[in-house]
Amino acid sequence: MKNPKKTKIDIIYNGVLKHAAKYGISDIKTNLLAKECKIAEGSIFYYFKDMKTLVDYCAERYDRELMDLCVKLILEGKDMSELWDILFKYVLEKPEGAVYYFNYVNYYGFDPTENNKRAEEFLKVARTLFKGKEHLNDHEVLVLWDYITTQLFYYTTKIYQGYIENTKEELAFIKKIVFLTYDNI
């Protein structure tokens, strides 16, 4: 038997990602969100005390999901190029999450990964990924990772909005741009 609370939270989470991708973070309205989720408006506040708590939860959950995937891939021995390809494919399959997260970081001016309890664990794994970049200090490793993920979210947003085509050629060109910086650090 499914846990109804978890199911409702998942519905709200996915609804926020879709709604915010369409209308933006600042224009999330509970009545429209409830309609998008096909739930009563009061249900939203049963699980989340206010909209800020809800949007923070969604950003932190998306961050956790993406971080878990990254850690798994890194521990499987994927190199930076393979990781980029897999992550780009992953975010393009559900672009609303990447668009939401990119808008969240830009709107609120901070990245929830800075407060993530798993940051130290991820830093160790990122160091494994950034072979040949041992000269970078911890802060520089995080800045490099931030650069790479920001580019991932930025280009996913542009593809989602229709400004860039989702073709093999375009994706290869985007990767080339990102790796020009990565390779030259």
Whether residue 20 contacts residue 103, with contact meaning beta carbons closer than 8 Å, is answered with: yes
Report the distance separating Cα 174 and Cα 126, nearest Å: 21
For residue 5, pLDDT beyond 80: no
pLDDT value for 155: 93
Please state the rounded mean pLDDT for residues 66-73. Answer: 88
pLDDT value for 113: 53
DSSP 117: T
- 113-164 residue pLDDT tens: 555 666 777 787 778 888 888 899 888 888 888 888 889 999 999 999 999 9
pLDDT value for 7: 85
pLDDT value for 162: 93
Report the distance separating Cα 96 and Cα 21, nearest Å: 5
Helix, strand or coil, per DSSP, at residue 166: coil
Which run of H or of E encompasses 160?
helix 138-160
pLDDT value for 124: 78
Query: Which amino acid is present at 38?
Result: K
pLDDT value for 3: 55
- 16-69 residue pLDDT tens: 999 888 888 888 888 989 998 999 999 999 999 998 899 999 988 998 898 889
pLDDT value for 149: 85
User: pTM of the full predicted structure?
Assistant: 0.83
For 12-21, 111-120, 168-177, which range has the lowest pLDDT when averaged over its residues?
111-120
Whether residue 88 contacts residue 143, with contact meaning beta carbons closer than 8 Å, is answered with: no
Whether residue 113 contacts residue 101, with contact meaning beta carbons closer than 8 Å, is answered with: no
Residue whose C-alpha is closest to residue 91's, from 115, 62, 68: 62
Q: In this structure, how many other beta carbons lie within 10 angstroms of the beta carbon of residue 41?
A: 14
Task: Tokens 């519905």: give the residue.
Answer: 11
Report the distance separating Cα 8 and Cα 14, nearest Å: 10
pLDDT value for 148: 87
Through-space distance between the first and last CA atoms of the chain, rounded to whole angstroms? 51
Whether residue 54 contacts residue 44, with contact meaning beta carbons closer than 8 Å, is answered with: yes
